[in-house]
Amino acid sequence: MTAQIALITGANKGIGFETARILGRDGATVLLGARSADLGEKAAAALAEEGIDARFVHLDVTDPASVEAAADRIGAELGRLDVLVNNAAIAGSDAFDPATATPPSRTSPALVRTTFETNVFGVVAVTNAMLPLLRRSPAGRIVNVSSELGSLTMLTDPSVPFYETNLLPYNASKSALNAVTVAYAKELAGTAIKVNAVTPGYCATDLNGHTGYRTAAQGAAVVAAAAVLGDDGPAGAFIAEDGRLPW
């Protein structure tokens, strides 16, 4: 089988980096998207030392010129893309601790807008730019890295442990990302491209001040599994480690 070509946004650290590592160990050519050339080059070099075909791609998901340039480069160098992992995101809040997080009533629209620029609009920009390359794959996979905090069903259930984690910018951005996932999945139904949202679970990363109880590698395993789904796998689903989640 031809080696897979996978682009992971925000891959210089955290769950994105670990996802690149898992896919790379499985033989994929991994394109590590990063907005910092220095951090991206270092991350790609670290994976290359492990024998992985890892290449840094400059990609700031909020910068249309950078997104277009990345798509042009991948097209020119590799001609197609098999996997797109929309992983890059920002917390958009000062804290994940409900005791200290800013409540919605004191959250500025500007912060919500900034958070959506990366977590939602960035995904739309990157997906639209990469879709022509994904259409050239025999089995394209788009994985949007979402969160349980984007599930309106779970957030309105007082019995869920994170019920009090009421982070307006982040939670709303991930609910919007879930809606974005459904929209693309509908358009691409009947093609070779599957679009799903996944949650890695609560992992210790910079995003949450390393408060998560799972490792980034454990979270990445969920993301990577959705990136290599077989043709009989789900599309338009919200996937966690233990199965599907409610929207």
* Identity of the residue, 40 or 139, whose beta carbon is nearer to ligand NAP in the bound complex: 40
Classify residue 135 by its DSSP letter. Answer: T
- Strand 83-86 and strand 54-58: the pairing is unpaired
Active site residue 186: no
Q: Which of 13, 174, 194, 202 is catalytic?
A: 174
* Identity of the residue, 137 or 147, whose beta carbon is nearer to ligand NAP in the bound complex: 147
Task: Tell me how far, at minimum, the Cβ of 215 lies from ligand NAP, in Å.
Answer: 10
* Identity of the residue, 107 or 147, whose beta carbon is nearer to ligand NAP in the bound complex: 147
Active site residue 13: no
For 82-128, what is the HEC assignment? CEEEECCCCCCCCCCCCCCCCCHHHCCHHHHHHHHHHHHHHHHHHHH
- Strand 243-244 and strand 238-240: the pairing is antiparallel
Q: Which residue is nearest to ligand NAP (CB)?
A: 14
Task: Tell me how far, at minimum, the Cβ of 73 lies from ligand NAP, in Å.
Answer: 15
Q: Which residues bind ligand NAP (CB under 6 A)?
A: 9-10, 12-16, 35-36, 39, 59-62, 87-90, 118, 122, 145, 147, 199-200, 202-203, 205-208, 212, 216
- Strand 243-244 and strand 141-145: the pairing is unpaired
In this structure, are residues 186 and 236 in contact, taking their beta carbons and an 8 Å threshold?
A: yes
Give the catalytic positions in this structure.
Answer: 170, 174
